[in-house]
């Protein structure tokens, strides 16, 4: 089996390369070969490689930057997934695509299900929703996996930022009124492998949109506390933490207050479930040692 993966240097793509080893030939392309802002380049690469499965792990993920470059965000997050879906349908193969909690406005008091109406607050969320809609419009076989608060041991993410800042600072103010589930890119990759194996074995659930995050919930403040606990256990001094409101830390893009996603449909349809966010964090940190 040939698996074409976009977004070579991204958090999820790096984990996919580790966790999909042995499933088949992995064709992992970065921006130099597969620029997601160039539709004709996307079509040319898919037709050149003729894969059996496409995984779109590439995206414009700079949430605040997207506010000032909407055209690029929509090209990469909105148009490109539709092009990939059209090419996948033409080949008669599935597409796996990753989306985000940012398609919701965060006003719901309970975790969001796949049946809830999206209402993105900013350019990033709107562009990701446009990508979901373009994939659905193509009419092929697809899995859209919405995740949240993704971190890993590489790239730019909240975990690495806090691991750097906590020992450096004496005090850190962290937002405490946004709630979600920090999700390790390794968990996303492991779950993706499980989904592919079910499909290969003829045990696939229904195609469509699913939520895929770690279990449990916390705030950015709570996530920082957990990161600090790991650093303290390693003998490092950490900053004193102060919880603050979102309004105390203004950003160019609005964030959902509630980023919790209900992942029960994925467990029910595909028999793939996720670990608690703390268990996944422990596993991720263990890889750094």
Is 112 a known active-site residue? no
Is the predicted pLDDT of residue 63 greater than 90, yes or no? Answer: yes
Q: Which domains does the chain have, with CATH numbers?
A: 2-156+183-214+261-275 (3.40.50.720)
Select from 184, 211, 195 the least CA-distant residue to 277.
184
Q: 100 near 259, Cβ under 8 Å? A: no
Mean pLDDT of 144-165: 97
72-97 confidence digits (pLDDT tens): 999 999 999 999 999 999 999 999 99
Is the predicted pLDDT of residue 289 greater than 90, yes or no? Answer: no
- What pLDDT does 254 receive? 95
Catalytic residue among 112, 124, 142, 151: 124
> Is 0.75 topped by the overall pTM?
yes
Is the predicted pLDDT of residue 234 greater than 90, yes or no? Answer: yes
């Amino acid at each position: 089996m040939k698996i074409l993966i976009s977004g070579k240097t991204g958090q999820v793509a790096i984990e996919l390369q580790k966790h999909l080893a042995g499933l088949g030939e992995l064709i992992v392309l970065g921006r130099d070969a597969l620029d997601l802002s160039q539709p004709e380049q996307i079509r040319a690469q898919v037709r050149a490689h003729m894969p059996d499965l496409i995984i779109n792990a590439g995206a414009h993920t700079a949430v605040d930057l997207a506010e000032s470059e909407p055209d690029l965000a929509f090209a990469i997050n909105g148009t490109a997934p539709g092009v990939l879906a059209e090419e996948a349908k033409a080949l008669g193969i599935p597409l796996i695509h990753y989306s985000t909690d940012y398609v919701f406005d965060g006003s719901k008091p309970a975790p969001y299900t796949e049946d809830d109406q999206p209402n993105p607050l900013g350019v990033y969320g709107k562009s990701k929703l446009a990508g979901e809609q373009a994939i659905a419009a193509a009419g092929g076989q697809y899995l859209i996996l919405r995740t949240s608060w993704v971190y890993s041991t590489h790239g730019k993410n909240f975990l690495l930022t806090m691991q750097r800042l906590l020992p450096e600072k004496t005090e850190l103010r962290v937002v405490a009124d946004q709630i979600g589930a920090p999700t390790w890119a390794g968990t996303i990759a492991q779950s993706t492998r499980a989904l592919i194996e079910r499909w290969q074995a003829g045990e696939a659930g229904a195609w469509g949109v699913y939520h895929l995050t770690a279990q449990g919930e916390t705030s950015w403040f709570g996530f920082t506390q957990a990161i600090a606990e790991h650093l303290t256990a390693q003998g490092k001094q950490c900053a004193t933490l102060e919880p603050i409101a979102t309004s105390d830390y203004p950003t160019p893009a609005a964030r959902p207050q509630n980023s919790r996603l209900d992942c029960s449909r994925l467990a029910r349809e595909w028999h793939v479930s996720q670990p608690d966010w703390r268990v996944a964090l422990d596993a991720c940190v263990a890889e750094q040692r």
